[in-house]
Amino acid sequence: MDIRTIGTTPLAVTQFGFGGAAIGGLYRECTREAAIETLQTAWDAGLRYFDTAPFYGFGLSERRTGDFLRSKPRETYVLSTKVGRLLRPVPEDQVPDHSYVNPLPFAVDYDYSYDGIMRSFEFSHARLGLNKIDILYVHDIGAYTHGAEKNAVYLAQLLDSGMRALDELKTSGAISAYGLGVNEVEVCLDVIARHPIDCILLAGRYSLLDRSAERDLLDVCRKKQISLVIGGVFNSGILATGPVAGANFDYGPASEDVLTRVRAMQEIAEDNDIPLAAAAVQFPLRESVVANVLIGTAKPSSLTRNMELLKVNVPDAVYAAVEPFTVR
Protein backbone atom coordinates (compact mmCIF):
# COMPACT_ATOMS: atom_id res chain seq x y z
CA MET A 1 0.00 0.00 0.00
CA ASP A 2 1.30 3.47 -0.90
CA ILE A 3 2.45 5.75 1.91
CA ARG A 4 2.38 9.51 2.43
CA THR A 5 4.15 11.66 4.98
CA ILE A 6 2.50 13.66 7.76
CA GLY A 7 3.19 17.38 7.35
CA THR A 8 6.88 18.19 7.48
CA THR A 9 7.59 15.34 9.90
CA PRO A 10 9.43 12.13 8.95
CA LEU A 11 6.32 10.15 9.93
CA ALA A 12 4.79 8.15 7.06
CA VAL A 13 1.40 6.43 6.99
CA THR A 14 -0.29 4.01 4.64
CA GLN A 15 -2.82 5.82 2.47
CA PHE A 16 -5.64 3.91 4.13
CA GLY A 17 -5.93 3.36 7.86
CA PHE A 18 -8.23 1.86 10.47
CA GLY A 19 -10.61 4.05 12.47
CA GLY A 20 -11.37 2.68 15.91
CA ALA A 21 -14.76 4.16 16.90
CA ALA A 22 -16.81 1.11 15.89
CA ILE A 23 -14.70 -1.36 17.88
CA GLY A 24 -15.57 0.79 20.90
CA GLY A 25 -19.24 -0.04 20.36
CA LEU A 26 -20.42 3.00 18.40
CA TYR A 27 -24.16 2.52 17.69
CA ARG A 28 -23.98 -1.27 18.18
CA GLU A 29 -22.20 -3.67 20.50
CA CYS A 30 -18.84 -5.02 19.44
CA THR A 31 -17.38 -7.97 21.30
CA ARG A 32 -13.69 -8.19 22.04
CA GLU A 33 -13.42 -11.17 19.70
CA ALA A 34 -15.03 -9.26 16.84
CA ALA A 35 -12.79 -6.25 17.47
CA ILE A 36 -9.59 -8.29 17.37
CA GLU A 37 -10.76 -10.18 14.27
CA THR A 38 -11.54 -6.90 12.52
CA LEU A 39 -8.16 -5.43 13.47
CA GLN A 40 -6.45 -8.55 12.14
CA THR A 41 -8.39 -8.24 8.89
CA ALA A 42 -7.19 -4.63 8.60
CA TRP A 43 -3.61 -5.73 9.22
CA ASP A 44 -3.86 -8.53 6.65
CA ALA A 45 -5.19 -6.01 4.11
CA GLY A 46 -2.05 -3.91 4.54
CA LEU A 47 -3.37 -1.14 6.77
CA ARG A 48 -0.60 0.09 9.06
CA TYR A 49 -2.14 3.25 10.49
CA PHE A 50 -4.50 2.82 13.44
CA ASP A 51 -6.51 5.64 15.02
CA THR A 52 -8.34 5.45 18.33
CA ALA A 53 -9.47 7.76 21.14
CA PRO A 54 -10.37 7.70 24.84
CA PHE A 55 -13.93 8.68 23.87
CA TYR A 56 -14.50 5.57 21.76
CA GLY A 57 -16.31 3.26 24.17
CA PHE A 58 -14.87 5.30 27.09
CA GLY A 59 -11.52 3.54 26.85
CA LEU A 60 -12.72 0.33 25.21
CA SER A 61 -11.30 1.09 21.77
CA GLU A 62 -7.89 2.04 23.16
CA ARG A 63 -7.70 -1.15 25.19
CA ARG A 64 -8.59 -3.34 22.24
CA THR A 65 -6.28 -1.49 19.85
CA GLY A 66 -3.40 -1.83 22.28
CA ASP A 67 -4.11 -5.50 22.89
CA PHE A 68 -3.92 -6.14 19.16
CA LEU A 69 -0.87 -4.02 18.36
CA ARG A 70 1.20 -5.15 21.34
CA SER A 71 2.39 -8.24 19.49
CA LYS A 72 3.37 -6.29 16.35
CA PRO A 73 6.88 -4.87 15.81
CA ARG A 74 6.61 -1.25 16.91
CA GLU A 75 8.34 0.17 13.84
CA THR A 76 5.80 -1.47 11.49
CA TYR A 77 2.75 0.70 12.28
CA VAL A 78 1.65 4.23 13.16
CA LEU A 79 -0.73 4.86 16.06
CA SER A 80 -2.78 7.94 16.87
CA THR A 81 -5.09 8.75 19.74
CA LYS A 82 -6.70 11.90 21.05
CA VAL A 83 -6.73 14.38 23.92
CA GLY A 84 -9.31 16.84 25.20
CA ARG A 85 -11.47 14.46 27.23
CA LEU A 86 -10.67 12.84 30.56
CA LEU A 87 -12.47 9.72 31.75
CA ARG A 88 -13.93 9.62 35.25
CA PRO A 89 -15.18 6.36 36.87
CA VAL A 90 -18.90 6.32 37.68
CA PRO A 91 -21.47 3.70 38.78
CA GLU A 92 -22.91 1.70 35.90
CA ASP A 93 -26.27 3.48 36.16
CA GLN A 94 -24.55 6.85 35.66
CA VAL A 95 -22.65 6.05 32.47
CA PRO A 96 -23.70 8.73 29.95
CA ASP A 97 -25.27 7.89 26.60
CA HIS A 98 -23.00 9.02 23.79
CA SER A 99 -24.19 6.36 21.33
CA TYR A 100 -21.73 3.71 22.55
CA VAL A 101 -23.26 0.35 23.42
CA ASN A 102 -21.89 -1.31 26.58
CA PRO A 103 -18.98 1.09 27.05
CA LEU A 104 -16.66 0.98 30.04
CA PRO A 105 -18.07 2.57 33.24
CA PHE A 106 -16.80 6.11 32.88
CA ALA A 107 -18.14 9.61 32.38
CA VAL A 108 -16.37 12.10 30.15
CA ASP A 109 -15.03 15.54 31.17
CA TYR A 110 -13.62 18.04 28.67
CA ASP A 111 -10.20 19.44 29.46
CA TYR A 112 -7.99 21.12 26.86
CA SER A 113 -5.50 22.58 29.33
CA TYR A 114 -1.81 21.75 29.72
CA ASP A 115 -2.50 19.49 32.70
CA GLY A 116 -5.52 17.90 31.05
CA ILE A 117 -3.61 17.01 27.90
CA MET A 118 -0.66 15.63 29.83
CA ARG A 119 -2.95 13.50 32.02
CA SER A 120 -4.89 12.26 29.00
CA PHE A 121 -1.64 11.27 27.27
CA GLU A 122 -0.48 9.31 30.31
CA PHE A 123 -3.86 7.58 30.74
CA SER A 124 -3.90 6.59 27.06
CA HIS A 125 -0.50 4.92 27.43
CA ALA A 126 -1.91 2.89 30.32
CA ARG A 127 -5.08 1.86 28.47
CA LEU A 128 -3.15 0.98 25.33
CA GLY A 129 -0.43 -0.86 27.20
CA LEU A 130 2.05 0.65 24.75
CA ASN A 131 4.99 2.93 25.38
CA LYS A 132 4.79 4.95 22.14
CA ILE A 133 2.03 7.02 20.57
CA ASP A 134 2.90 8.63 17.24
CA ILE A 135 0.19 11.26 16.73
CA LEU A 136 -2.03 13.15 19.16
CA TYR A 137 -5.19 14.88 17.94
CA VAL A 138 -7.08 17.49 19.97
CA HIS A 139 -10.51 15.88 19.90
CA ASP A 140 -13.73 17.73 19.10
CA ILE A 141 -12.64 21.27 19.84
CA GLY A 142 -15.05 23.61 18.05
CA ALA A 143 -18.54 25.04 18.05
CA TYR A 144 -19.89 21.95 16.26
CA THR A 145 -19.42 19.99 19.50
CA HIS A 146 -19.57 22.64 22.23
CA GLY A 147 -21.59 25.55 20.87
CA ALA A 148 -20.04 28.97 20.35
CA GLU A 149 -20.06 30.15 23.97
CA LYS A 150 -18.51 27.08 25.57
CA ASN A 151 -16.09 26.62 22.73
CA ALA A 152 -14.67 30.10 23.29
CA VAL A 153 -13.68 28.96 26.78
CA TYR A 154 -12.24 25.64 25.60
CA LEU A 155 -10.37 27.21 22.68
CA ALA A 156 -8.76 29.75 25.01
CA GLN A 157 -7.80 26.87 27.30
CA LEU A 158 -6.15 25.05 24.40
CA LEU A 159 -4.33 28.05 22.99
CA ASP A 160 -3.25 29.43 26.37
CA SER A 161 -1.73 26.22 27.72
CA GLY A 162 -2.80 23.04 25.93
CA MET A 163 -0.69 23.70 22.86
CA ARG A 164 2.35 24.10 25.09
CA ALA A 165 1.83 20.54 26.29
CA LEU A 166 1.70 19.26 22.72
CA ASP A 167 4.82 21.24 21.81
CA GLU A 168 6.69 19.77 24.75
CA LEU A 169 5.63 16.22 23.91
CA LYS A 170 6.77 16.60 20.32
CA THR A 171 10.04 18.32 21.20
CA SER A 172 10.87 15.58 23.69
CA GLY A 173 10.18 12.86 21.14
CA ALA A 174 7.25 11.44 23.09
CA ILE A 175 5.10 11.97 19.97
CA SER A 176 6.06 12.63 16.36
CA ALA A 177 3.15 14.86 15.29
CA TYR A 178 0.03 16.58 16.59
CA GLY A 179 -3.05 18.32 15.29
CA LEU A 180 -6.83 18.45 15.48
CA GLY A 181 -9.43 15.68 15.27
CA VAL A 182 -12.69 17.47 14.41
CA ASN A 183 -15.90 17.56 12.37
CA GLU A 184 -15.77 21.19 11.28
CA VAL A 185 -13.63 23.45 9.13
CA GLU A 186 -13.94 26.72 11.03
CA VAL A 187 -12.04 25.70 14.14
CA CYS A 188 -9.23 24.34 11.97
CA LEU A 189 -8.78 27.76 10.40
CA ASP A 190 -8.98 29.45 13.81
CA VAL A 191 -6.26 27.26 15.31
CA ILE A 192 -3.97 27.28 12.27
CA ALA A 193 -4.03 31.09 12.29
CA ARG A 194 -2.70 31.08 15.86
CA HIS A 195 -0.50 28.01 16.20
CA PRO A 196 1.36 25.66 13.85
CA ILE A 197 0.15 22.05 13.66
CA ASP A 198 1.19 19.01 11.64
CA CYS A 199 -2.11 17.41 10.68
CA ILE A 200 -5.88 17.43 10.90
CA LEU A 201 -8.17 14.43 11.19
CA LEU A 202 -11.24 15.87 9.48
CA ALA A 203 -14.43 13.81 9.55
CA GLY A 204 -17.13 14.28 6.94
CA ARG A 205 -16.00 17.62 5.52
CA TYR A 206 -13.93 16.48 2.57
CA SER A 207 -15.96 13.76 0.94
CA LEU A 208 -17.56 13.02 -2.40
CA LEU A 209 -20.72 14.66 -1.04
CA ASP A 210 -19.55 17.31 1.45
CA ARG A 211 -16.79 19.55 0.07
CA SER A 212 -16.78 22.13 2.90
CA ALA A 213 -13.00 21.89 3.20
CA GLU A 214 -12.53 23.12 -0.36
CA ARG A 215 -13.63 26.67 0.46
CA ASP A 216 -10.54 27.68 2.43
CA LEU A 217 -8.96 24.83 4.33
CA LEU A 218 -7.26 22.95 1.50
CA ASP A 219 -5.39 26.05 0.34
CA VAL A 220 -4.28 26.84 3.87
CA CYS A 221 -3.07 23.27 4.40
CA ARG A 222 -1.08 23.38 1.17
CA LYS A 223 0.60 26.65 2.14
CA LYS A 224 1.32 25.55 5.72
CA GLN A 225 2.28 21.96 4.73
CA ILE A 226 -0.39 20.47 7.00
CA SER A 227 -1.59 16.97 6.19
CA LEU A 228 -5.22 15.89 6.25
CA VAL A 229 -6.39 12.52 7.50
CA ILE A 230 -9.96 11.99 6.28
CA GLY A 231 -12.62 10.22 8.29
CA GLY A 232 -16.31 9.75 7.54
CA VAL A 233 -15.89 9.20 3.80
CA PHE A 234 -19.41 7.78 3.62
CA ASN A 235 -20.89 10.77 5.50
CA SER A 236 -22.48 8.64 8.24
CA GLY A 237 -23.54 5.99 5.75
CA ILE A 238 -25.47 7.53 2.86
CA LEU A 239 -22.62 7.18 0.35
CA ALA A 240 -22.38 3.48 1.22
CA THR A 241 -26.09 2.65 1.39
CA GLY A 242 -27.27 5.08 -1.24
CA PRO A 243 -30.39 7.24 -0.78
CA VAL A 244 -32.49 4.51 0.82
CA ALA A 245 -35.20 5.06 3.41
CA GLY A 246 -33.56 5.83 6.76
CA ALA A 247 -30.21 6.78 5.23
CA ASN A 248 -28.03 8.89 7.52
CA PHE A 249 -25.98 11.98 6.76
CA ASP A 250 -23.82 13.86 9.25
CA TYR A 251 -24.86 11.68 12.22
CA GLY A 252 -28.58 12.00 11.62
CA PRO A 253 -31.37 11.27 9.13
CA ALA A 254 -30.61 12.65 5.67
CA SER A 255 -32.72 15.59 4.53
CA GLU A 256 -34.68 15.45 1.29
CA ASP A 257 -32.14 17.82 -0.27
CA VAL A 258 -29.27 15.47 0.57
CA LEU A 259 -31.26 12.44 -0.63
CA THR A 260 -31.87 14.20 -3.95
CA ARG A 261 -28.19 14.99 -4.37
CA VAL A 262 -27.15 11.43 -3.63
CA ARG A 263 -29.78 10.02 -5.99
CA ALA A 264 -28.20 12.04 -8.78
CA MET A 265 -24.73 10.85 -7.78
CA GLN A 266 -25.86 7.24 -7.67
CA GLU A 267 -27.36 7.47 -11.16
CA ILE A 268 -24.05 8.77 -12.48
CA ALA A 269 -22.17 5.94 -10.79
CA GLU A 270 -24.60 3.33 -12.13
CA ASP A 271 -24.31 4.75 -15.64
CA ASN A 272 -20.58 4.10 -15.36
CA ASP A 273 -21.04 0.61 -13.87
CA ILE A 274 -19.30 1.43 -10.60
CA PRO A 275 -20.49 1.44 -6.97
CA LEU A 276 -21.01 4.93 -5.57
CA ALA A 277 -19.14 3.76 -2.47
CA ALA A 278 -16.02 3.11 -4.56
CA ALA A 279 -15.97 6.71 -5.77
CA ALA A 280 -16.52 7.87 -2.19
CA VAL A 281 -13.69 5.93 -0.59
CA GLN A 282 -11.19 6.81 -3.32
CA PHE A 283 -12.13 10.50 -3.69
CA PRO A 284 -10.10 12.17 -0.88
CA LEU A 285 -6.72 10.79 -1.98
CA ARG A 286 -7.02 12.64 -5.28
CA GLU A 287 -5.92 15.66 -3.21
CA SER A 288 -2.17 15.81 -2.43
CA VAL A 289 -2.55 17.22 1.09
CA VAL A 290 -4.58 14.17 2.10
CA ALA A 291 -2.19 11.67 3.69
CA ASN A 292 -4.68 9.02 4.74
CA VAL A 293 -8.31 7.88 4.56
CA LEU A 294 -9.65 6.06 7.62
CA ILE A 295 -11.96 3.09 7.22
CA GLY A 296 -13.94 2.40 10.38
CA THR A 297 -15.95 -0.74 11.05
CA ALA A 298 -16.42 -3.50 13.61
CA LYS A 299 -17.05 -6.25 11.06
CA PRO A 300 -14.31 -8.09 9.16
CA SER A 301 -16.72 -8.61 6.24
CA SER A 302 -17.40 -4.87 5.99
CA LEU A 303 -13.71 -4.07 6.04
CA THR A 304 -13.01 -6.64 3.33
CA ARG A 305 -15.86 -5.23 1.24
CA ASN A 306 -14.52 -1.69 1.60
CA MET A 307 -11.01 -2.77 0.65
CA GLU A 308 -12.42 -4.35 -2.52
CA LEU A 309 -13.76 -0.91 -3.45
CA LEU A 310 -10.18 0.29 -3.78
CA LYS A 311 -9.71 -2.01 -6.78
CA VAL A 312 -12.52 -0.38 -8.78
CA ASN A 313 -11.34 1.96 -11.52
CA VAL A 314 -13.25 5.21 -11.07
CA PRO A 315 -12.98 7.44 -14.18
CA ASP A 316 -12.16 11.11 -13.74
CA ALA A 317 -15.36 11.86 -15.63
CA VAL A 318 -17.40 10.44 -12.74
CA TYR A 319 -15.87 12.88 -10.28
CA ALA A 320 -16.50 15.76 -12.66
CA ALA A 321 -20.11 14.70 -13.20
CA VAL A 322 -21.02 14.42 -9.49
CA GLU A 323 -19.44 17.75 -8.52
CA PRO A 324 -22.56 19.89 -9.20
CA PHE A 325 -24.46 17.83 -6.60
CA THR A 326 -22.02 18.34 -3.74
CA VAL A 327 -22.69 20.17 -0.47
CA ARG A 328 -20.35 23.13 0.10
Question: What are the structural domains, with CATH classification, of the chain?
Answer: 3-325 (3.20.20.100)
pLDDT per position as a tens digit, 42-95 = 999 999 999 999 999 999 999 999 999 999 999 999 999 999 999 999 999 999
Please tell me the predicted confidence (pLDDT) of residue 1.
Answer: 83
Give the pLDDT confidence of 105-151 residue by residue, as tens digits. Answer: 999 999 999 999 999 999 999 999 999 999 999 999 999 999 999 99
Report pLDDT digits (tens) over 240-250. Answer: 999 999 999 99
Average pLDDT over residues 17-28: 97
pLDDT digits (tens, 9 = 90+) for 276-287: 999 999 999 999
Mean pLDDT for 165-184 is 98
Write the pLDDT tens digit of every residue in 214-225: 999 999 999 999
Catalytically active residues are 51, 56, 82
Taking only the tens place, the pLDDT of each residue in 88-102 is 999 999 999 999 999
User: Nearest Cα to 263, choosing from 327, 328, 309, 322?
Assistant: 322
Give dist(CA 194, CA 141) in Å, integer.
Answer: 15
The percent of residues in the chain predicted with pLDDT above 90, rounded, is 99
pLDDT score, position 70 = 97
